[in-house]
């Protein structure tokens, strides 16, 4: 079995070296760059296994599918630049029974500001990342994309280490972009969020993470993340209502 690792990137000079180092098991690494202005390109071009392509941004799902389409091998391991393959996961990937499954889920070990988060729904946070591109494909959503499959799926041992957010400012910066894309998906799906979406849903998000997902066991960080995700939920639906209102006024 030969494996292609795929990464979509933009201005990831700080994260890429460690990510690429953790992919030493891959036969090739495809990096699709959506317009970096830092040393991302230089890092990729100097790596012996990397095939580096520049592609205009077209949404997370489509960008990841474009990377898989460039692969020379059918078995693909998709990874973000801020993620690392642990030694245990590496061994599990190489020992995977690819004849029995179309893809494999991996557990993500998520960090916020350098602290590992075990609750709030952040662990094990399973994602299907190792898959046969002939039978699986990312859904072409603008954000929160996931691999779609119809056949049997296995689960690998070991964690994919994810340095999610550096801190509050990093979260808020990215939240503005992600909530806008998520709002566009809400509108695209034909949904019309009402007042409850911007009042009840954010509160429910907080309660779910802090109480049901045991975020309180993380202390202050659990409270902080629950609040931040509640704010994200509010922003997503408020922006969706704003988009809807703009469409109505534009008629």
- What 3-state DSSP class applies to 236? helix
Domain with residues 3-165, CATH architecture: Alpha-Beta Complex (3.90)
> Which position has the token pair 């202050």?
220
Look at the pTM and tell me if it is higher than 0.85. Answer: yes
Q: Parallel, antiparallel, or unpaired: how do β-strands 28-33 and 3-9 relate?
A: parallel
- The domain segmentation of the chain, as residue ranges, is 3-165, 168-249
pLDDT at residue 133 in the model: 97
CA distance 35 to 156: 33
- Residue 250 confidence class, pLDDT cut points 50, 70, 90: low
- Residue 141 confidence class, pLDDT cut points 50, 70, 90: confident
- What 3-state DSSP class applies to 9? strand
Tens of pLDDT along 99-118?
999 999 999 999 999 999 99
Tens of pLDDT along 159-213?
999 999 999 999 999 999 999 999 999 999 999 999 999 999 999 999 999 999 9
CA distance 18 to 27: 17
Peptide bond into 124 cis (omega under 30): yes
- Residue 251 confidence class, pLDDT cut points 50, 70, 90: low
pLDDT at residue 85 in the model: 98
Tens of pLDDT along 36-91?
999 999 999 999 999 999 999 999 999 999 999 999 999 999 999 999 999 999 99
């Amino acid at each position: 079995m030969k494996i292609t690792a795929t990464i979509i990137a933009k201005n990831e000079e700080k994260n890429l070296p460690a990510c690429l180092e953790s992919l030493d098991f891959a036969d090739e690494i495809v990096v699709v760059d959506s317009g970096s202005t830092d040393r991302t390109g230089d890092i990729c071009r100097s790596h012996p296994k990397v095939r580096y392509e520049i592609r205009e941004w077209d949404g997370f799902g489509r960008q990841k599918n474009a990377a898989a389409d460039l692969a020379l091998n059918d078995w693909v391991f998709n990874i973000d630049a801020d993620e690392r393959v642990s030694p245990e996961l590496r061994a599990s990937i190489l020992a995977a029974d690819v004849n029995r499954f179309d893809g494999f889920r991996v557990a993500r070990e998520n960090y916020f500001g350098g602290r590992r988060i075990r609750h709030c729904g952040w662990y094990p946070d399973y994602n299907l990342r190792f898959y046969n591109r002939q039978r699986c494909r990312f859904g072409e959503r603008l954000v929160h994309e996931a691999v779609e499959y119809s056949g049997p799926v296995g689960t690998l041992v070991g964690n994919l280490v994810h340095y999610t957010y550096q801190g509050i400012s990093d979260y808020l910066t990215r939240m503005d972009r992600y909530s806008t894309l998520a709002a566009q998906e809400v509108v695209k799906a034909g949904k019309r969020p009402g007042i409850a979406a911007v009042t009840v849903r954010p509160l429910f998000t907080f309660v779910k993470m802090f109480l049901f997902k045991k975020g309180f066991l993380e202390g202050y960080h659990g409270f902080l993340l629950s609040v931040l995700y509640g704010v994200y939920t509010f922003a997503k639906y408020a922006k969706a209502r704003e988009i809807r209102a703009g469409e109505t006024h534009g008629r």
